[in-house]
Amino acid sequence: MRSSRGTALTAAALCVAVALICFVSARSFLAMRLPDPVAPAQGFERYNLSHWFPALKGSPGDSDVYIQDSGVPGGTVFIMGGTHPNEPSGYMAAVVYLERAKVTKGRLIVMPFANATAMGHNSPQEASPQYFSLDVDGGTRWFRYGSRATNPVYQWPAPDIYIHAQSGQKLDGGSKSNLNRAYPGVPDDSLTQQVAYGIIQLLNKEKVDLAFDLHEASPEYPVVNAIVAHNRAMELAAMVSMELEMAGIPMRLEPSPVNFRGLSHREWGDHSDALAILMETGNPSQGRLRGKTDAALAVTGKDKAYLKAAALGRLFIPYEGDQTLDLRTARHVTSMKMFMDMLGDVKEGGDVEVEGIPSFDDMMERGIGAFLSPVEDDRFDGK
């Protein structure tokens, strides 16, 4: 190994170069912290997670929560996207509900970007796009493509080993920044654990009957295009899974493992009365086998490396060259609608009726952008 020594002049020149690089790249990183504007449908009221857990007030984890109450007695459904902001169909499905839903019975709570700080950065060495765009009526909507983990600016350093507080389960230290390993949360621990705690408070205080945590998974991951259900939610989930199968939208049913702790489908069910459901669609842009990584991959899912991996029999989804964001989002949206339609069958008085949600075929035909409203977005100066 050779060490290079220079002069005071080279040192000064390097310092100037470093300062310039810092300035230019920092602008790009900081811009990602600006939230994605949304256009909630009429009837939604905006809250923050701190409404249920005041310690989060003013913190970067104080995510937006929207509630629409029909005024007609019924159940309460909670939809959460953005646990992992590198899994865009999760939060896009939540946004579709937020911008389209008209609740006619019961209540609907939508938290589109659960881990707010994870939306504002990318994971190093993943080369993820910072944003992707969708054509909407009269313009373009931009959404951030974030990271699986809480922004380390707010939670650092990671411990060497993450020990789940309630079970003692050990995971790699990085998992402490993973919201879906943090439940039921700890009120006085790191930001991720506090956000998890706040969500459990919300589920309990709002007496949520049915709760969704929307995810995506790599196509090579065994639990993909799947519904993972807590044991109390298995009956409902089995009914929905069969219904989806008949509709030609297969979503495999997986029971929530009892020995894998900290995940929403396990802890929400154990620590609240909600029927806890986690859903996964197949997202090539987050997989380990993916080729060129860019915004187009996030939106189209077109990837020749995955095509080859499919031919090798390495994938757990049918992959014929693409896996569009429209398809992935439509899977979530349609599955949730079926869950809501059947909720009353398994939970007396738990009916929730929602209108205005596009059908699977509509979303496939017109794209999900057709069901999003135009918004003013200062981040891109009208671009």
Partner 1 sequence: MEWFWPEGFYTLLMIGVFAFAAFVWDMPIAVAMAMAAITGAIAAGEGVPLRHQVEGEFGYVDTILIIATAMVFMKVIQRTGLLESIAAWVIRKFRGYPVLLSLGIMFIIMVPGMITGSSTAAVLTTGALVAPVMMELGVPMLQTAAAISMGALFGMIAPPISIPAMIIGAGVDIPYVGFGMPLLICTVPLAVICSLWLIYPYVRKPRDEASLEAQLAKMSRVPMSLRLFLTVIVLVVLLGGERTLPLYWPSLGMPLSFLLASASGLLSGVRWNPIETVTEAIDEALPVMGILMGVGMFIQIMTLTGVRGFVVVSALALPSWTLYLGIAISMPLFGAVSSFGSASVLGVPFLMALLGQNEIVVASALSLVASLGDLMPPTALAGIFAAQVVGEKNYFKVLRHCMLPALLTVCWGIAVILMAKPIAKLIF
Q: State which residue, 63 or 122, has the beta carbon closest to partner 1.
A: 122
Residue 259 lies near partner 1 (rule: CB under 8 A): yes
Near partner 1 by CB under 8 A, which window of 96-104, 206-214, 286-294, 322-330? 286-294
Tell me the CA distances in angstroms from 96 to 10, 84, 177, 223, one per residue in order: 54, 17, 27, 24
Residue 157 lies near partner 1 (rule: CB under 8 A): yes
Classify each residue of 119-135 as buried b or exposed e, where b means 16 or more C-beta atoms within 10 Å of its C-beta.
bbbbbeeeebbbbbbbe
Residue 25 lies near partner 1 (rule: CB under 8 A): yes
Near partner 1 by CB under 8 A, which window of 68-76, 120-128, 320-328, 369-377? 120-128
Whole-angstrom distance, CA of residue 241 vs CA of residue 84: 24
Residue 291 lies near partner 1 (rule: CB under 8 A): yes
- With CB under 8 A as the rule, give the number of residues binding partner 1: 50
Residue 8 lies near partner 1 (rule: CB under 8 A): no
Residue 131 lies near partner 1 (rule: CB under 8 A): no
Whole-angstrom distance, CA of residue 72 vs CA of residue 78: 17
To the nearest whole angstrom, how small is the minimum distance from the Cβ of residue 152 to partner 1?
A: 9
Q: State which residue, 107 or 261, has the beta carbon closest to partner 1.
A: 261
DSSP labels for 207-247?
Answer: T-SEEEEEEEE-TTSSS-SEEEE-GGGHHHHHHHHHHHHHT
Say if CB 211 and CB 78 are below 8 A apart.
yes
Dmax over CA atoms of the chain, in Å, equals 79
* Contact pattern for partner 1 over residues 299 through 318, marking x by CB under 8 A: ----xxx--xx--x-x----
Residue 29 lies near partner 1 (rule: CB under 8 A): yes
Q: State which residue, 28 or 42, has the beta carbon closest to partner 1.
A: 28
Q: State which residue, 217 or 336, has the beta carbon closest to partner 1.
A: 217
Tell me which residue of 88, 92, 171 sits closest to 130, measured CA to CA.
88
Q: Give residues in contact with partner 1 (CB under 8 A).
A: 1-4, 21, 24-25, 28-29, 122, 124-127, 130, 157-161, 163, 165, 169-173, 175, 220-223, 257, 259-261, 288-294, 303-305, 308-309, 312, 314
